[in-house]
Amino acid sequence: MPLLFKRSLLPKLRGFPLTADAVTILDSAADYRRCLLEKIAQATRRIYIVALYLQHDEAGQEILDALHAAKAARPQLDIVVMVDWLRAQRGLIGAGKQPGNSAWYQEQTRLHSSEVPIYGVPVQTRELFGVLHLKGFVIDDCVLYSGASLNNVYLHKFDKYRFDRYHLLQCPALADSMQHLVEHGLVASRAVHRLDLPNLPTTRSLRNDIGDLRSRLKHAAYDTSAGRVVMGELSVSPLLGVGKNNPLSRVICELIASAQQQLTICTPYFNLPLAVTREINRALARGVKIDIVVGDKTANDFYIPPCEPFRVIAALPYLYEISLRRFAKRHQHMIDSGKLNLHLWRDGDNTYHLKGMWVDQRYTLLTGNNLNPRAFRLDLENALLLDDPKGELLAPREQELQAIFRHTQRIERYQQLETLAEYPAAVGKFLRRVSRVRIERLLYRIL
């Protein structure tokens, strides 16, 4: 592989060898929920759950009950649940004052004789400036990887679903590496405390410990000493990143720079970092065909119908659409030529949460990274990079892409996207005010 950057990481990545039958792509959120519950029930050694949140609703209760049942049936099971510290201690946005999920965790611990510890990880002292955005569940020797958190809509418990990607990898070395990071890089930190026990320390009292944790995480990485620099074989490399110019962000840019024929990118929130936009422009200039799939603003998880009372959070989908329209306008000639294809995903009133990249017919990136400035600088992110030089996964890879494109519409002209004048009055009023005081650029950096 050619040297893409002065300090290129991609050719040096250590990975764990895989066989094609060790990788399973699940079709839907409902399949993901069923698979997760089955794996929990069958676990014999360990269950490590890492997600942004485990929600106090029917699906969340189902998952937590399954964990307690597994622990009661097999007391030797090593079970750890990790969620974001700050997210767990607040209610849902716009739902008024609520105790947060931590109160439910504590109630469940009191009700059960089995112990399922739930840890909170404070990536920052304020949620706005960074959260635990790691993904991946380790259950015995398999890794179940998705960008989804744990609640009704992500798990399609009832009528609505939030569309994501769902992969099952049978790889003991990968599972060991991901467990090791959780156990030694997070649980062992003085900043990390159990949320399912009473008398939680205040975030303010943890300020120094949080700073120390974040500093160490900037230099942390998954242990791949059991892997190797795999040449010519199917492999998976785990990646970790937090803060400016982190390894995960650098590999994402290198992957785009490595594309020679075709590149597909998925993100739910169209707000690309400058480094990503720059590499996309370079790829287009060298003739790479690029498909970008984003959610329609009505498929955004922050979207609120105009008939409901306006809340500031409701402006986010419109900000992302403004960003997409600007991008489309600048690249209209590439859209006309067919080299750039922008696709809007929409399926009824369901929502879209897909992230990741497909590079030529070789690389597939599984990640929770939203490919936005927040993900590149603030949140603690991870990813699994599948390197498939022989094309052993091309058939399931193509099936996954077909499922993603099934509910999309190509943007032929940038004028198809609405303008500020066409937005609901309350949204337009807020966005004009934001533009006047010139904080729009700041919002794009942190949202």
Q: What is the model's pLDDT at position 2?
A: 45
263 and 291 in contact (C-beta within 8 Å)? yes
* Catalytic option among 56, 68, 353, 407: 353
* Catalytic option among 57, 84, 164, 388: 164
The rounded distance, in Å, linking the Cα atoms of 263 and 271 is: 18
Q: What is the model's pLDDT at position 99?
A: 75
Q: What is the model's pLDDT at position 7?
A: 79
Give yes or no: 353 in active site.
Answer: yes
C-alpha angle 370-353-152 in degrees, rounded to nearest 5? 135
pLDDT band at 443 (very low <50, low <70, confident <90, very high): low
Per-residue b or e along 116-137, where b marks 16 or more CB atoms closer than 10 Å to that residue's CB: bebbbbbbbbebeebbbbbbbb
pTM of the model: 0.95
Which helix (H) or strand (E) is 342 found in, with range? strand 340-345
Percent share of the chain, pLDDT over 90: 89
Q: What is the model's pLDDT at position 438?
A: 60
As to burial, measured by CB atoms within 10 angstroms (0-12 exposed, 13-18 middle, 19+ buried), residue 219 is exposed
Provide the 3-class DSSP secondary structure of residue 242. coil
* Residue 428: both structure tokens together: 């337009």
Phi-psi region of 208 (alpha: psi -120 to 50; beta: other; left: phi over 0): alpha
Domain boundaries 19-217, corresponding CATH code? 3.30.870.10
* Catalytic option among 57, 196, 223, 381: 381
The rounded distance, in Å, linking the Cα atoms of 220 and 134 is: 13
Mean pLDDT of 331-339: 98
Give yes or no: 133 in active site.
Answer: yes
Per-residue b or e along 224-255, where b marks 16 or more CB atoms closer than 10 Å to that residue's CB: beebeebeeebbbbbbbbbbeebbbbbbbbbb
The rounded distance, in Å, linking the Cα atoms of 393 and 367 is: 18
Mean pLDDT of 21-39: 98
As to burial, measured by CB atoms within 10 angstroms (0-12 exposed, 13-18 middle, 19+ buried), residue 104 is buried
DSSP state of 81: E
pLDDT band at 231 (very low <50, low <70, confident <90, very high): confident
pLDDT band at 4 (very low <50, low <70, confident <90, very high): low
The rounded distance, in Å, linking the Cα atoms of 335 and 299 is: 23
The rounded distance, in Å, linking the Cα atoms of 108 and 121 is: 20
Question: Which whole-number Å values give the CA distances from 367 to 111, 241, 278, 357, in the listed order?
Answer: 35, 11, 21, 9
The rounded distance, in Å, linking the Cα atoms of 251 and 306 is: 40
Mean pLDDT of 81-107: 85
Same fold? 19-217, 242-381+391-446: yes
What amino acid is encoded at 80 in this protein?
V
Question: Which whole-number Å values give the CA distances from 286 to 14, 252, 256, 369, in the listed order?
Answer: 29, 18, 12, 26
Q: Residue 402: pLDDT above 70? A: yes
Q: Domain extents for the chain?
A: 19-217, 242-381+391-446
Q: Residue 301: pLDDT above 90? A: yes
Give yes or no: 68 in active site.
Answer: no
CA dihedral 425, 430, 435, 439 (to 10 degrees): -160
Q: What is the model's pLDDT at position 433?
A: 87
Q: Residue 95: pLDDT above 60? A: no
CA-based Rg of the chain, rounded to a whole angstrom?
21
Architecture of the domain delimited by 242-381+391-446: 2-Layer Sandwich (3.30)
Q: Residue 239: pLDDT above 90? A: yes
pLDDT band at 439 (very low <50, low <70, confident <90, very high): low
Cβ count near 446 (within 10 Å): 13
Concatenating the DSSP letter of every residue in 337-387 gives: HTSEEEEEE--TT-EE---EEEETTTEEEEE---SSHHHHHTSBEEEEEEE
Q: What is the separation, in whole angstroms, between the first and last Cα of the chain?
A: 35
What amino acid is encoded at 379 in this protein?
D
pLDDT band at 441 (very low <50, low <70, confident <90, very high): low
Q: Tens digits of per-residue pLDDT, 173-202? A: 999 999 999 999 999 999 999 999 999 999
Q: For strand 166-170 and strand 363-367, is the pairing parallel, antiparallel, or unpaired? A: unpaired
390 and 398 in contact (C-beta within 8 Å)? no
